[in-house]
Structure 1
Amino acid sequence: MQPSTETQTLVRIQDLEKRFDLSGSWLEQLQFKEGKLQRHQEFVHAINGVTLEVQKGEALCVVGESGCGKSTVARTVMGLISPSGGEIHYDGQRIDHLPAKAMLPYRRRMQMIFQNPYASLNPRMTIQQTLEEPLRFHQPGLNPSEVGDKVHEVMHAVGINPDWGKRYAHEFSGGQRQRISIARALAVDPEFIVADEPISALDVSIQAQVLNLMMDAQEARGLTYLFITHDLSVVEHFGTRVAVMYLGTVCELATTRELFANPRHPYTQALLSAIPRLEDDRPTHIRLQGEVPTPVNLPSGCVFHGRCPYADQRCRTEKPQLIPTAGGQVACHAVQEGRL
């Protein structure tokens, strides 16, 4: 399948929604209220109308607090979770509604690196078997010699000694396991990689090595990344553009340089103020008041209004839409009205 030449957008996420049902079985949903038998349902609103475009060759970073929905976005894009609403397009073709067999050609082009290298590798398989498995599945026409050559190639590419192939995952450190996970993702020559906090479980001394490995692979293979993280210091060096999420919505989207130089949304400003800076003699941290609302009962209007110092009545009742700015987009009534 040839890539589309009409646009440079590789992945387009349009009005994506995901709700997780907390209500249990149909019988468990029945409750007596005011003398009547009524059906009561509760949902976790994990993603609420997210729209993003990932351009070919870039690294789009999605950041936010734990529980903001960024990992759910990643898993939904990969088809590991079915969306409750919205659309996902890959290279101009809608894929979120495709059956498993029709998704197979996209599975090879889209690969994922998971957060926990201690859980993402099969403990019963040797490293050689782990790396051979996706090749045998996605490229069944390869003979054993070609499979072996391909495995050796990706092992060298990520700095793994080919002699490790006979060993098992438990014999390696976290950083080594994540290198193996990256090699597994690269084995089938993908175009697009979703990395769900791939360095958060690693020691700080190892994080830079894994990041550099991913950046080298991007340059050598022309990869496109959707990179999920909560570490803004990583984003500053790795990302091409940044999407900031809060409670299942995108509140700001901008180029990395513009976001760090001129954050527009109050939540983005608070996040960036929390980054430790060695050169700051008197750091000016923005301390947000209140707690993050529950995704079960979302607040009306702007989801951030309960913690925002610039919120007014419009913010409490009307949901802001993403509006264009100099370096991207922002969803904020205060910015739109010139109050911020």
Structure 2
Amino acid sequence: MTSPLVSIQNLEKRFDLSGSFLEQLRFEGGRLRRKQEAVHAINGVNLDVHKGEALCVVGESGCGKSTVARTVMGLIAPSAGEIHYGGQRIDHLEGKTALPYRRKMQMIFQNPYASLNPRMTILQTLEEPIRFHHPDWTAQAVRDKIHEVMHSVGIDPDWGSRFGHEFSGGQRQRIAIARALAVDPEFIVADEPISALDVSIQAQVLNLLMDARESRGLTYLFITHDLAVVEHFGTRVAVMYLGRVCELADTRTLFATPRHPYTQALLSAIPKLEDDRPNHIRLQGEVPTPVNLPSGCVFHGRCPYANERCRQEVPMLITTDGGAQVACHAVEEQRL
């Protein structure tokens, strides 16, 4: 296995809820105490993204997948851990030292209605990143590049004088993809890029992303909650639950033989026409709050296979016979 293009190591992110020092002070039992609270959004995530692949990160809302994406892109500073790109640590870089990686790493956001500046024409939107990263380019070179990326995503170059509000959601997302491709990146983080679009448009945008991966040699970190998209688009899948990766496998292996109880429950919820599919697995209980994380395995309160070890000890990712990585004591002890 070659060295990863992007490596996420022991990543953690906490969002403080306590406020100022005075707001943290409480009277309890006649004594003044300081109480600090935080949302534990990411809790020790380890992921490697290899060149040319599409690694999909899935999980229910609030599991931390979008926070991982924004932390990798430097939009959010990690509370702990490291992020490496091409073997170089980048999470601590700022200013001019981060510029080379800003060009190599681009992001496509979830909401195409909010990610485009309403006061800028499409031409200005696409010009901005090119002029920023290539200040030495001539006006003709910039114009040629804009026409090239617009053609590559199926946009008419004559649309350049129009504003974002004049386009549909699918057209806006194509413009957002063109903006990401304008600086010839190597790595793209796509944070649920089709969830805000009509179903009829989703397949078009998804195929566009796949074509761009083939023609430009792109690497994707693809955030989604749609498992049908994962099966069609992803080369590998990481399943997250409450800020932790509970299973990591190539797409075919994960959908054929899911090992983690949470992954099994997720996949059982996909509507299928075949009668030989297992019945829908109904999980008991509620998702714990990320403010007060449960001890041990974060899934033990809803897992039918949990024992005392699961309630006390945090499981680590172990490699199974099929090559998948699973963080589950029941799998490790061969109880599941």
TM-score range, shorter chain: over 0.9
The residue matched to 1:267 in structure 2 has which SS? helix
Aligned counterpart for 1:328 among listed residues 315, 324, 329: 324
What residue number does 1:237 align with?
A: 232
Aligned counterpart for 1:164 among listed residues 152, 159, 165: 159
Map Cα deviations across residues 129-166 of structure 1 (whole Å, 9 max, x no partner).
00000000011111100000000000000000001000
- The one-letter amino acid paired with 2:39 is V
Shift of 1:282: 7.5
Q: How does 1:64-103 map to 2 (within 5 A)?
A: 64-103=59-98
**Residue 182 of structure 1 pairs with residue 177 of structure 2:** yes
Partners of 2:278 and 2:25 lie apart in 1 by 53
Give the percent of matched residue pairs that are identical in Structure 1 and Structure 2. 82
Partners of 1:118 and 1:327 lie apart in 2 by 40
Shift of 1:34: 2.1
Partners of 1:39 and 1:96 lie apart in 2 by 31
Aligned counterpart for 2:211 among listed residues 216, 237, 256: 216
What residue number does 1:338 align with?
A: 334
Partners of 2:318 and 2:277 lie apart in 1 by 34
Shift of 1:281: 7.4
Alignment: residue pair count: 335
**Residue 126 of structure 1 pairs with residue 106 of structure 2:** no
What residue number does 2:58 align with?
A: 63
Q: How does 1:100-115 map to 2 (within 5 A)?
A: 100-115=95-110
The residue matched to 1:178 in structure 2 has which SS? helix
Shift of 1:216: 0.1
Partners of 2:83 and 2:28 lie apart in 1 by 40
- The one-letter amino acid paired with 2:177 is I
Shift of 1:100: 2.4
- The one-letter amino acid paired with 2:21 is W
What residue number does 2:49 align with?
A: 54
Shift of 1:25: 1.1
**Residue 259 of structure 1 pairs with residue 254 of structure 2:** yes
Partners of 2:253 and 2:323 lie apart in 1 by 6
The residue matched to 2:5 in structure 1 has which SS? strand
Shift of 1:283: 6.0
What residue number does 2:292 align with?
A: 297
Aligned counterpart for 1:207 among listed residues 202, 206, 209: 202
Aligned counterpart for 1:286 among listed residues 277, 281, 284: 281
Map Cα deviations across residues 239-269 of structure 1 (whole Å, 9 max, x no partner).
0000000000000000000000000000000
Partners of 1:283 and 1:51 lie apart in 2 by 31
Shift of 1:279: 2.5
Partners of 1:8 and 1:186 lie apart in 2 by 24
Q: CA RMSD in A?
A: 1.1
Map Cα deviations across residues 59-105 of structure 1 (whole Å, 9 max, x no partner).
00000000000000000000000000000000000001112221111
The residue matched to 1:9 in structure 2 has which SS? coil
Q: Normalising by structure 1, what TM-score?
A: 0.97
- The one-letter amino acid paired with 1:285 is H
The residue matched to 1:275 in structure 2 has which SS? coil
Partners of 1:283 and 1:319 lie apart in 2 by 29
- Structure 2 gaps, min length 5: none
Partners of 2:109 and 2:308 lie apart in 1 by 41
The residue matched to 1:60 in structure 2 has which SS? strand
- Structure 1 gaps, min length 5: 1-5
The residue matched to 2:23 in structure 1 has which SS? coil
What residue number does 2:306 align with?
A: 311
- The one-letter amino acid paired with 1:329 is Q
Map Cα deviations across residues 284-337 of structure 1 (whole Å, 9 max, x no partner).
100000000000000000000000010011101111000001232000000000
Map Cα deviations across residues 33-68 of structure 1 (whole Å, 9 max, x no partner).
222212110000000000000000000000000000
Partners of 1:159 and 1:90 lie apart in 2 by 31
Aligned counterpart for 2:133 among listed residues 135, 138, 143: 138
Partners of 2:328 and 2:273 lie apart in 1 by 31
Partners of 2:159 and 2:275 lie apart in 1 by 45
Aligned counterpart for 1:149 among listed residues 120, 144, 151: 144
What residue number does 1:3 align with?
A: none
